[in-house]
Homo-oligomer: A and B are copies of this chain.
Amino acid sequence: MSEKTKWGNFFEDFRVGQTIAHATPRTITEGDVALYTALTGSRFALTSADTFAHSLSFPRAPVDNLLAFNIVFGKTVPDISLNAIANLGYAAGRFGHRVYPGDTLTADSTVIGLKENSDGKTGIVYVRSCGVNQRGQIALDYCRWVMVRKRDPASPAPETVVPALHEAVAASDLVIPAGIRVEGYDTTLSGSTDLWDDYRVGERIDHVDGMTIEESEHMMATRLYQNTARVHFNQHAEKSGRFGRRIVYGGYIIGLARALSFNGLANAFSVVAINAGRHVSPAFAGDTVYAWSEIIEQMSLPGRHDLGALRLRTVATKDRNCADFPYRGADGSYDPSVLLDFDYTVLMPKRPGKSPPPE
């Protein structure tokens, strides 16, 4: 084993408070945007057309926030999760400065928690990861926690630190892009006349369409994000691995679910927070992904009468359509079809001249 080769960090390599600057800065381009469209089928007007973006006072079409998320996530993998067994969850994700083609993102992660598992072979690492543009502005930050192998089971357990994470990003903490205006928002071009006021907490929406995943698609997406986790790429090794095959990168499922959600949530023009997220089961090539969403919370935004936020749960399933909203059973366990349980917040224009409904 050459000492020049990176094998990633193991559980005992992490210290609470430690900040790791990640390699491979990345200039995001129109090429990445085209690939993101080709790989997910996203149709949200804001990220599809400069003209639509101009109509909301964006300088041009911003990059889909989930593309930026996946690129930042990819940078963290060689340092944080190369020896991870499971990507356990996300929380407190917040998008800041919009990313435009030409922007360069770099990323770092700070260890905010550590907890060794009782088996003594693995532990949970909690990090806050942050993606920053070439002007030093925060594009996004989010927490995630992963189960990581110990290099040496005999190494002592660190002091347990479990970070307190809010259940959701509060409305007052959301970053609304400065200067955006929605009075010229065109619901013909956006694909739906349903605006913020038309949704109700508890409402559930089946996104209807299904998308079958091919090996080359998830691998191209994952390489585009420069994510190096081995389980996604190497059939020769995975054939004798846990599942006998390559696992689809979970961030690709998030992107597909968001693209599918267009049918029913076309005016959710921007994802502004990731409150929580869990990859409930692994996806493989050949699986067909469906999705449905529930409105969890309908949030007014301080100082904005034209724009509101919706907190959503989007559930992605495999090989099962979502007409009956498959989720958890009475015992709390997930329906076996569920791939993803994703809790996030989107922006949506309000109906002009109408006050927000009582909450």
Residues of A within 8 A of B (CB): 1-2, 4-7, 21, 23-27, 29-35, 37-41, 43, 45, 48-52, 61, 78, 101-102, 104, 106, 134, 188-192, 194, 198-199, 203-212, 214-217, 219-221, 223-224, 226, 228, 230, 233-237, 246, 263-266, 286, 288, 319, 321, 323
Which residue of B212, B224, B233 is within 8 Å of A210 (Cβ)?
B233
Contact B263 A6 (CB under 8 A): yes
Q: Which residues of B contact A194 (CB under 8 A)?
A: 4
Contact A24 B191 (CB under 8 A): yes
Contact A38 B223 (CB under 8 A): yes
The interface centre, meaning the residue of A7, A25, A33 with most chain B CB atoms within 10 A of its CB, is A25
Q: Which residues of B contact A27 (CB under 8 A)?
A: 48-51, 61
Contact B23 A45 (CB under 8 A): yes
Contact A219 B214 (CB under 8 A): yes
Please, how many angstroms separate the alpha-carbon atoms of A223 and B259 in the complex? 11
Contact A43 B30 (CB under 8 A): no
How many copies the complex holds: the figure is 3
Closest to A61 in B: B27
Closest to A259 in B: B223
Which residue of B25, B198, B224, B321 is within 8 Å of A189 (Cβ)?
B25
Given contacts A48-B226, A205-B4, contact A246 B24 (CB under 8 A): no
* A–B pairs, 23, beta carbons within 8 Å: A2-B205, A4-B265, A6-B192, A21-B188, A23-B43, A24-B43, A24-B45, A24-B191, A27-B50, A29-B34, A34-B224, A35-B35, A38-B221, A52-B104, A210-B234, A210-B236, A212-B219, A212-B234, A214-B214, A216-B217, A234-B288, A236-B288, A236-B319
Contact A192 B4 (CB under 8 A): yes
Contact A43 B226 (CB under 8 A): yes
Contact B223 A5 (CB under 8 A): no
Given A5-B206, A34-B34, A209-B233, 11 extra CB contacts under 8 A: A24-B189, A25-B45, A25-B52, A30-B30, A35-B35, A38-B221, A38-B223, A50-B102, A50-B104, A51-B104, A209-B230
Closest to A187 in B: B23
Q: Which residues of B contact A40 (CB under 8 A)?
A: 223
Q: Which residues of B contact A61 (CB under 8 A)?
A: 27
Q: Which residues of B contact A209 (CB under 8 A)?
A: 228, 230, 233-234
Closest to A55 in B: B25
The interface centre, meaning the residue of A34, A209, A286, A288 with most chain B CB atoms within 10 A of its CB, is A34
Contact A212 B228 (CB under 8 A): no
Which residue of B25, B210, B236 is within 8 Å of A49 (Cβ)?
B25
Please, how many angstroms separate the alpha-carbon atoms of A216 and B219 in the complex? 11
Please, how many angstroms separate the alpha-carbon atoms of A37 and B26 in the complex? 11
Please, how many angstroms separate the alpha-carbon atoms of A2 and B223 in the complex? 36
Please, how many angstroms separate the alpha-carbon atoms of A141 and B122 in the complex? 52
Please, how many angstroms separate the alpha-carbon atoms of A230 and B223 in the complex? 27
Q: Which residues of B contact A52 (CB under 8 A)?
A: 25, 104
Within the complex, the shortest CB–CB distance from A159 to chain B, in Å, comes to: 28
Contact B41 A228 (CB under 8 A): yes
Closest to A102 in B: B50
Please, how many angstroms separate the alpha-carbon atoms of A210 and B236 in the complex? 8
Within the complex, the shortest CB–CB distance from A269 to chain B, in Å, comes to: 12
Within the complex, the shortest CB–CB distance from A256 to chain B, in Å, comes to: 10
Q: Which residues of B contact A21 (CB under 8 A)?
A: 188-189
Contact A134 B37 (CB under 8 A): no
